Amino acid sequence: MFREIEADVYVLVDGDDTYPAEEVHGLIEHVVRNEADMVIGDRLSNGRYQEQNKRNFHEFGNKLVQTLVNRIFNSDIRDIMTGYRVFSRFFVKNFPILSKGFQIETEMTVFALNHNFKVKESAITYRDRPEGSFSKLNTIRDGAKVLNILYELFKNTRPMLFFALVSFIFFVASLVVGVPVIYEFILTHYITLVPSAILASGLAVMAALFLIVALILDTMAYYNRIDMEYRLNMYFENQIKR
């Protein structure tokens, strides 16, 4: 879609009449003034979404994804799952769409945060969908897709944190299994818990391997970010020359 459309400002909005079209000018203004590369239409700040939305678990799911993204990427985005967004040409022409469906909002947000695009939220008025219409979203199925794409993005953009956590889990498990073995050896200079010793050693080796993976992938991610910054700068310079 983005490849086929040439514009200076792009508007993305769900077609269910829950987002007021008349408020788009306020969102566009932030991009026109070069204040943001992505403007997020915030449904949550004024409380209207909580009043109008009666679907079970949707608010819980939104809160869960918001908390995870903000913790992982050290941000303060209030409404990550909103379907009302405005983009600059700079963002659109450099954003690789890898996912399909409902989870694309999460992918857009994470991409913008990871590559230091200017992100701004602007409060909008949310209204419930018209009577007689229905949502195609399934809370469990689509929620699982969002969590899966978040897992992939976390693993790929923050490999040090992700694999270091996995390494820490294996290390703690090796301690739990291995401490009785070590204690027995200190007291008796003999090991009877041979299976536990083997298991503890295996868990410790896995912990070390995951830590090595974390270091390697973090270095690769670092150079990928440098390459991305270089390409973004080149694109920006080419746009100025035009």
pLDDT digits (tens, 9 = 90+) for 151-183: 888 898 899 999 999 999 999 999 999 999 999
- Average pLDDT of the residues in 72-81: 87
Structural domain containing residue 189? 159-241
Q: Could you tell me if residue 3 is inside a domain?
A: no
Query: Within this chain, do residues 195 and 181 fall inside the same structural domain, yes or no?
Result: yes
Own/partner long-range contacts of 5-10 (Cβ < 8 Å, ≥24 apart) = 7/89, 8/88, 8/89, 9/86, 9/87, 9/88, 9/89, 10/86, 10/87, 10/88, 10/89, 10/92
Query: Within this chain, do residues 103 and 163 fall inside the same structural domain, yes or no?
Result: no
Query: Within this chain, do residues 34 and 74 fall inside the same structural domain, yes or no?
Result: yes
Query: Within this chain, do residues 53 and 106 fall inside the same structural domain, yes or no?
Result: yes
What pLDDT, on the 0 to 100 scale, is given for residue 166? 96
Query: Within this chain, do residues 90 and 202 fall inside the same structural domain, yes or no?
Result: no
Grade residue 200 by pLDDT with cuts at 50, 70 and 90.
very high
pLDDT digits (tens, 9 = 90+) for 87-146: 999 999 888 887 777 778 888 999 999 888 999 999 888 877 666 555 666 667 767 877
Q: pTM here?
A: 0.76
Query: Within this chain, do residues 139 and 99 fall inside the same structural domain, yes or no?
Result: yes
Q: What is the CATH classification number for the domain harbouring 123?
A: 3.90.550.10
Last residue of a domain, one of 157, 191, 212: 157
Query: Within this chain, do residues 76 and 148 fall inside the same structural domain, yes or no?
Result: yes
